[in-house]
Structure 1
């Protein structure tokens, strides 16, 4: 009896501690965005998120009641049968009624919790009848979003950390959205069911936006499904929830939920950008145009590893490197295909042909390299086709 009571007391201790934490921190707040002091989860801005929150609180309070009852019996027994009162403790063992009671009661409690939990789980994994499909691909350390349209007119772009390097290096004051701001947020229409197809290009990642009640592992070679249906417009932030490398903390997620009309306007703008990029494929750029565009691409995609001035860092220096001053084909091979077994990623699928031509031209003519040669988008296209 003593050992069984001791075991029950340990099980009951956790919900009591949780309750004390809840009351002491004010973690019952229901704002859409979590606060620094907050321990509890939030309902978010989706119906399924609210159901998850309600289920969580229901199970929590069941545990609290169980904890109070178990500790109540324990404290009463300690007080009523203490040694000073000369009470004789019971000496029975393996009481059949007690055994039946503490078998049936937990079983019934589990049923009470299992039924709503099962209903909620079924709804969480029901990705049918989506109004919009978005393919989410994790890269070190950025996200790629591709809107899959039935007419085949897909729109895709990368979302990169926007926080200034000076803030990260503590040479400037940190902004209010430090490490949680991006250059291209994901835009979704309100009150529409959106299905996410989540995968990864290199290592394990996890796409997590608490307010949208979505958290799915991004696994190379696999596609995991999730969905959301935001009921309120706004900006909702998340992060990669898998330790994916040294810059794991530098790949935030920002989702803008907007009205349908604003979403259609944004989508039309993205489709126009894609059409403009397609037209640029046939354009002959000047050296100045390529260098100017290449500098922007370099600062966004290369400077973190190779240094703002090409001096090197995590990766080798670009200034005076054998790659940037060597044969053009070898330089292209490194940029397009990456270097296996190193931190150098393959940018052939991350940058379009125009940006690849521009950044390679910039690397070959900047940082004192002054090779004098340049590449056009058609050269990148031919290189990829000829591999």
Structure 2
């Protein structure tokens, strides 16, 4: 593990590194001088050599000197520091703007003027976390959908939060900004080389703070444009598919298979893999748990879609597709001994999203 600060891959990160090293060397010189004088005085004015302590007080020259020297040193340090800080905060004239929204425990990326947005979640499996499977090289630093950015362009980040304070931190870019609910902070970067750059939430945002990684893939302009167009087409097709689902009745086995996958990636972190929950924090869903009886089917859908005020239960309506919501609720209502036997269809989820049947 390197002992020094990350040097980074952008011009700003290099400026930050250079500033760090400049301040470090100044501190080293100060330390050598101060400790050198101290040890010289200890050795040459020790009692065994017959040294007698002088008795004096109030020296105007000394007081001016020990005030003036630190002042000059601070000015020397402040000039490059100010230049670097001003450069870090200059988010004007961006080529691309991305809105980054943190929530427990995921990131949402929205590209301005591009009609592209998606959530980015931890891709490390629960089995790896539970030591039931061998850990991969990028354990806890891998996501299902990374942030894709073009190289050679100034990218402005608008950073906020839906719930608690998070912090979007990518060391290679020298970007670390808090995501505060109700506020928008700004940062920027310009990546010069294609590559994969990793970071994570740097704020203690809850019990799964360590499960909120960031992955940025920098592509050439041609590759970025290709990805952008492909993503736009895919998201448009997904919207069209959702409309077709409204007239379909999906079978139980298909819903259960997708529901289990969705539950393990989105819900198990709080409600646990077997639906047992965490007493006092997250309710159990197993064994006729929260809202799974037939008379509360609509309530169950509403809680998943809209969340529950005053709790950590998020609104998954904006996060999951109609099919995924229908599947995960079907799974919760028929797994771990609940066995209600009923399915939830996309049309029922859409009705709750529209405020109907409640």
What's the TM-score, normalizing by structure 1?
0.84
Tell me how far 1:369 sits from its aligned partner: 4.1
1:301 corresponding residue in structure 2:
266
Taking a change above 3 Å as real, the CA distance of residues 285 and 115 of structure 1, as seen in their structure-2 partners, is same
Tell me how far 1:315 sits from its aligned partner: 3.5
For residue 104 of structure 1, the aligned residue among 38, 63, 68 is: 68
CA distance in 1, matches of 2:290, 2:132: 32
Taking a change above 3 Å as real, the CA distance of residues 83 and 303 of structure 1, as seen in their structure-2 partners, is closer
Q: Is the 1:146–1:156 Cα contact (8 Å) retained in structure 2? A: yes
Residue pairs, 1:3-152, within 5 angstroms? 36=1, 38-149=2-113
1:178 partner SS: coil
1:315 corresponding residue in structure 2:
283
1:201 corresponding residue in structure 2:
162
2:188 corresponding residue in structure 1:
227
What's the TM-score, normalizing by structure 2?
0.91
1:280 corresponding residue in structure 2:
241
Cα RMSD (Å) of the superposition?
Answer: 2.0
Q: Is the 1:163–1:179 Cα contact (8 Å) retained in structure 2? A: yes
Taking a change above 3 Å as real, the CA distance of residues 99 and 48 of structure 1, as seen in their structure-2 partners, is same
Q: Can you give the 5+ residue segments of structure 2 that lack an aligned partner in the other structure?
A: none
CA distance in 2, matches of 1:318, 1:101: 74
Tell me how far 1:188 sits from its aligned partner: 0.8
CA distance in 2, matches of 1:234, 1:207: 19
Residue pairs, 1:349-368, within 5 angstroms? 349-368=318-337
CA distance in 2, matches of 1:104, 1:359: 68
1:383 corresponding residue in structure 2:
352
1:14 corresponding residue in structure 2:
none
Q: Can you give the 5+ residue segments of structure 1 that lack an aligned partner in the other structure?
A: 1-35
Q: Is the 1:282–1:378 Cα contact (8 Å) retained in structure 2? A: no
Residue pairs, 1:183-262, within 5 angstroms? 183-262=144-223
Taking a change above 3 Å as real, the CA distance of residues 80 and 304 of structure 1, as seen in their structure-2 partners, is closer
Where do 4+ consecutive residues of structure 1 move more than 6 Å? Answer: none
CA distance in 1, matches of 2:47, 2:297: 90
Taking a change above 3 Å as real, the CA distance of residues 297 and 77 of structure 1, as seen in their structure-2 partners, is same
Aligned length: 348
Deviations 1:167-201 (A, max 9, x none): 11112222211111111111111111111111111
